[in-house]
Amino acid sequence: IKKIGVMTSGGDSPGMNAAIRSVVRTCAFYKIECAGIYRGYQGMIEGDFIELNARSVKGIINKGGTFLKSARSKEFMTKEGRQKAYDQLKKANIDAFVVIGGDGSFTGALIFNQEFGFPVMGIPGTIDNDIEGTSHTLGYDTTLNTVVDVIDKIRDTASSHNRLFFVEVMGRDVGHIALNVGVGAGAEEILIPEEDLGLERLLESLRRSKQSGKSSSIVIVAEGDKTGKNVFELKDYVNEHLPEYEVRVSVLGHMQRGGSPSCFDRVLASRMGVSAVESLIDGKSNLMVGLISDKIAVTPLEKAIKGQSKINKELIRVSDIMSV
Ligand code: F6P
C-alpha cells in the first residue's frame, strides 16, 4: 500500500478530527502517503481530495466537528456513483481508505469493497454508540459529559422553581445516551427506545416523588423513546393528569454533537487510527476497529453493521433504586 485515503461520513461526532490526525500521522510514521477526502463519499465521487502530511493535522486533536466535513451521499448509493468514486481514487493513486462514521458509512464501504475489491477499514464515529464490536464509539463519551453538564444547569433552574423538566436527548434507535446521562445527572425517570415502561408508571413515579418531598424532577427522554409521545405531548399528558406539577421542556438537539472531545475520545481516536492503518498495511480489509474490554480489537464490518450494541439493563435498575 502506497497511499491511504481518509474521510468522515454521516453525522459528525467529537473526536473525528483526532482520528483523522491519527490516520495521517500513522501513515507518515510508516512512510505511506495520505489523502484527505472531503465530504465523505460525495467528495470521493467528485475527486475532492487533499494531500495530507504529519504537519497538516497540527492543532486539531482538541477540535470538535471534522475539518474534512461530512455528508450523506445519495449518489454513492448508485452503481454509477460508486464507479465514479472508484475512478477518482484510481486517478489519485489511492489504494485503500479509512472511513470514520456509522453503520450507513460502513455499509457503503462494504459494498464498495465487494464491487471493486478495494481495501477499506472503518472507525466507528457516532455519538449514539449504536454499533456492535466496540464498547465506545468516537464522540459518545464527550456527548455524555456535555449532556450531563447541561442537565446539571437545568437542575439549578428546575429546583429554584420546583419544576418538572422533560429533557430530550439524541438517540434515534438506542438509549445509551439517555440511560447514562439519566443515571449520571440523577433523573427521576428515563424513557428509551428499547423498552416501554408505560405512561402509568411515569405518573406513579412523579406522584411518589412529590409525596417524598422532592423539589425538582428531571425526566430524560431519548428521541426515539417507546412511549410514542414526544416531549411536548408528554408535558401535556402530565399537565392533564398531575396538575400539581409545573412542567417545562428542553430539547437539547445538535449541541450534543459539538464541542471539544474528551480526553477519553482523543485517546480512543488515536488508538483506532493507528490500528486502522496498521491493519491495511498488514493486508487486512473490511474490518472495523473497536474497543473491547479496553483493548483495540477488530470486527468484520458486516457484523458491526448488522448488530446493534445493547443497552446495559443494569442501569435501568440502578436508576430505579436511585430515584426512590
Ligand atoms: O449522530 C446520530 C444522531 O445524532 C441521532 O441521534 C440523531 O437522530 C441524528 O444524528 C440527527 O442527525 P442529522 O440532523 O444530521 O440528520
- Closest ligand 1 atom to 170 CA: 6
- As a whole number of angstroms, the distance between CA 244 and CA 180 comes to 29
pLDDT, residue 228, reads 87
Answer yes or no: are the C-beta atoms of 101 and 69 closer than 8 Å: no
Contacts of 313 (CB under 8 A, 6+ apart): none
**pLDDT tens track, the chain, 324 positions:** 999 999 999 999 999 999 999 999 999 999 999 999 999 999 999 999 999 999 999 999 999 999 999 999 999 999 999 999 999 999 999 999 999 999 999 999 999 999 999 999 999 999 999 999 999 999 999 999 999 999 999 999 999 999 999 999 999 899 999 999 999 999 999 999 999 888 999 999 999 998 888 888 999 999 999 898 999 999 999 999 999 999 999 999 999 999 999 999 999 999 999 999 999 999 999 999 999 999 999 999 999 998 878 899 999 999 999 988
> Is residue 223 annotated as involved in ligand binding?
yes
pLDDT, residue 52, reads 98
pLDDT, residue 306, reads 85
Distance between Cα 1 and ligand 1 center (Å): 34
- Phi, psi torsion values for 73, nearest 5 degrees: -100, 120
- The three grid cell numbers given for residue 90, joined into one nine-digit string: 484510481
130 classed as catalytic:
no
Tell me which residue of 154, 135, 110, 124 sits closest to 311, measured CA to CA. 135
* Atom 13 of ligand 1, residue of closest alpha carbon: 11
> Is residue 56 annotated as involved in ligand binding?
no
DSSP string across 236-250: HHHHHH-TT-EEEEE
Distance between Cα 190 and ligand 1 center (Å): 20
170 lines ligand 1 (CB under 6 A): yes
Q: pTM to 2 decimals?
A: 0.96
| Catalytic position from the list 128, 130, 141, 225 | 128
Pairing status of strand 96-101 against strand 49-52: unpaired
- As a whole number of angstroms, the distance between CA 198 and CA 204 comes to 10
> Is residue 73 annotated as involved in ligand binding?
yes
| First-last CA distance in the chain | 59
Pairing status of strand 3-8 against strand 33-37: parallel
ipTM summary value: 0.94
Tell me which residue of 157, 121, 162, 64 sits closest to 289, measured CA to CA. 121
- As a whole number of angstroms, the distance between CA 55 and CA 249 comes to 45
- As a whole number of angstroms, the distance between CA 78 and CA 319 comes to 46
* Atom 11 of ligand 1, residue of closest alpha carbon: 11
